[in-house]
Amino acid sequence: MPSLEETFTTAIAQGKIPGTILMATNKTGSFRYSRAFGPRSLHETEEALKLDALLVFASLTKLITTIAALQLVERGKWTLDDNVFDVLPELERLPILTKMKEGALVLTKRANGITLRHLLTHSSGVGYSMTSTLIQEYHTSIGLSPTAPFPRVVDRFGCPLLFEPGSSWQYGGSVDWVGLGVARIVKTSLEEYCQQNIFGPLRITDTTFWPGRQPKLNARLASMTVRDSNVQDGLGKLLPYSGPSPGGEYVEEFGGQGAYGTLPDFLKILQSLLADDEKLLKKETTAEMFKPQLNCESQKALQETFRSSNRRRFFVGEFPEHVRYDWGLGGLLTMQDVKVNELQWRNKGCMVWSGLPNLFWFLDRKAGLCGVYGTQVLPPGDSGTAEMIAFFDKAIYELYARSKGEHE
């Protein structure tokens, strides 16, 4: 296998990928890989991307918010399996949205309750307008833009549910509702809560929902890029992104997608969970995170999603179709050992997830290894980046196995 350095340096030089940061470590820190490749911006290619570049975390935020909610569960302020309507009454009013064969949209009364466990595992029925044509049609039917950018959680994710809670699975904005619930319970902002209870204990200093309030930090923001699929060079040319700033319309913290941060910061969170050091969560809570959480109906729906190349194309990372998956509290779980030739790759119970600008992370407790891939390119599931994430993911396991062999 070619080295990571050789492979990524070549990919950058060929214009295959934009600037990229790779980081990985084991639970003791005796193994560590960290390297940045390429420029910080396509506008100013002479400035190298650094490890401490500020990135749009997007859905990497979900792990942070999940930890915040589980801390409240530990403290007896929230529960996993009671209805959340006392904290989030707006959810109680949401009906179920379906579509008749004739094409008419139908709203029916919800029968099941919604729990924190439903919200954390995307089995609540809350969807994303960007991936649900049904939500887009609903928005159009009430005179809104199909993917209207609302500045508040209750407006953006207050559309009807896509199914009865607990009866299926669809990735969506439910963790944004969780973030709002955390803020309401502790009677402060999600930002302040995370700074005091997650970032502070790990000495994380460069992660925030509001980088614009910290000019020195914001100056390190890596530029977003976009793949122009109209350029017929096999992949599409990389161009500077000129659209609206991700989350620029927010007036409150979105716990499912709103954070900005650095990869060294995020790796601290992964390593804390990997080491089970109880700086964030008790050991029994961390163990619960890595248990399969879905019932049979929801797991079946998730499995069907990841077996469909069309439906999983929005997800960042490599997901072999033959593997059984479930959802934990924080990310997707691999429910069987996965080998690549002679390399033991993901182990049963390995948790992975990602962020929209093609960020990806994994946490493999059995292997004692975690890692994160950081870049800023749209659209999600970018083909050029997907190939590089797959290479990084396997190469880190190989490097770690080799390092253990050298020290035996």
Tens digit of each residue's pLDDT (9 = 90 or more) over 170-191: 999 999 999 999 999 999 999 9
**Nearest C-alpha neighbor of 204 from the set 195, 213, 212:** 195
Tell me whether residue 291 is one of the annotated catalytic residues.
no
CATH assignment of the domain containing 369 = 3.40.710.10
- pLDDT, mean of residues 292-307: 98
Q: What angle do CA 253, 257, 259 make, to 5 degrees?
A: 60
- pLDDT, mean of residues 253-265: 98
- pLDDT, mean of residues 65-89: 99
**336 falls within a domain:** yes
**Count of domains forming the chain:** 1
Q: Given 128, 138, 171, 397, which residue is catalytic? A: 171
CA–CA distances in Å: residue 251 to residues 43, 217, 235, 254, 268: 29, 20, 36, 9, 28
Of the listed ranges 23-27, 140-144, 207-211, the least confidently predicted one is 140-144
Quick one: angle between helices 383-406 and 4-13, nearest 10?
160
Looking at per-residue pLDDT, the higher value among 361 and 147 belongs to 361
Q: Is 282 a residue whose pLDDT tops 70?
A: yes
**163 falls within a domain:** no
Q: Provide the domain limits for residue 228.
A: 4-57+219-251+261-406
**190 falls within a domain:** no
Q: Given 16, 27, 62, 268, which residue is catalytic? A: 62
**134 falls within a domain:** no
Q: Given 16, 27, 59, 373, which residue is catalytic? A: 59
Tell me whether residue 241 is one of the annotated catalytic residues.
no
Model confidence at 408, in pLDDT bands (50, 70, 90)?
A: very low
Q: Is 234 a residue whose pLDDT tops 80?
A: no
**35 falls within a domain:** yes
Q: What angle do CA 71, 186, 54 make, to 5 degrees?
A: 70
Tell me whether residue 216 is one of the annotated catalytic residues.
no
Strand partners, 351: 333, 363
**48 falls within a domain:** yes
- pLDDT, mean of residues 304-327: 91
The pLDDT tens digits of the residues spanning 333-354 come to: 999 999 988 788 999 999 999 9
Residue 224 corresponds to which tokens in the numbers above? Answer: 């977003």
**325 falls within a domain:** yes
- pLDDT, mean of residues 193-209: 99
pTM, two decimal places:
0.96
Quick one: angle between helices 263-275 and 61-74, nearest 10?
40
